Structure formats: C-alpha cells, structure tokens
Amino acid sequence: MSYTVDFKTVSTVGMESSPVAAALAGLRANEARYFKNKYDIDFTVEPASSPKAKAIIDWVHRILKEERNLVISSRPLEATEVPVPNIRWAYVFYESGLAINVLYTLDDASKRAVGFKLSDGMDVPEELAAQFKFARQKSRLAGTIRGTYFNIKNEY
C-alpha cells in the first residue's frame, strides 16, 4: 500500500525495522518537503515488495552496478519515482538508513546523477566508504545528513 509522506508530522510508517527509523523517517520527510515546496508534488512511497517499487529498485540497482560496480547490502524498505516533468527521479530507502536517489533527465545527459544520503547516526556503508567522501548538511527534519553523489555516464 502506498504512503504519502507528511513532512509536518514525521512518521516512521514503513521504516519500523530500521535501527535508525526516526532519522530515516526524518530524511524521507526532508525529501517530501523539497518536492512539495519546489514542484507542489506529494511524495508518495511504495513498500519495496510492491511490483512498482521492485521495478524502481531494479533500475536503481542496475545503474549502481553498471556505473560503479556497487551492490548495496542493506534491504530496501521503500521506493518511489517522483513525477517531475522531463525527469525520471527515483528514490530507494534502505533499512540501514541509506537513501539513494537517481536524477535522470530525459533530454539532457549532462544532468544525470546518483545521490547517496545517510541518516543521522548511520555509519558509512562499507560498499561506499572506499569510493566516496560524504559532506554534512543540517536539516530541521532529519538532523545531520551526510551526502555524496556521482554523475551517470551511460544511458538507462
């Protein structure tokens, strides 16, 4: 069942199995606020077990594998593709507290990237530690978020 994220009242719905559930829920709410403020779009996520979410997760995992030979060891909890015009914008939220987003513009290959965000209190995953440096940013909803990204070179 899909869940529309409320960034005014942060809820751990769907995140309960995460050891950093409250922080991950705050990170998810932070993303929801961004899309509501910038595009007036509600941020609605699907459980990872749903067919729609599985397709999104498979696409994100394919990009990670083919671009950087990355395999995320944590279990996906939720996924979404945000309906922004001319952009395929996918998110996957993991049990470890990791959130991955893929920004894939449909008409401009120079604006395609994969972003990684770590929930407050989460250690850098082993599979990312050797390849990436994480910058910190403060969020009222999510505490301290650490993030990094890489540009996508191929077509997906």
CA atoms within 13 A on the CB side of 114: 22
Distance CA 71, CA 74 (A): 9
Q: Against a cut of 0.85, is the pTM above it?
A: yes
Query: Per residue in 63-120, pLDDT tens?
Result: 999 999 999 999 999 999 999 999 999 999 999 999 999 999 999 989 999 999 999 8
What φ, ψ does residue 96 adopt, rounded to 5°? -70, -20
Query: Per residue in 10-58, pLDDT tens?
Result: 999 999 999 999 999 999 999 999 999 999 999 999 999 999 999 999 9
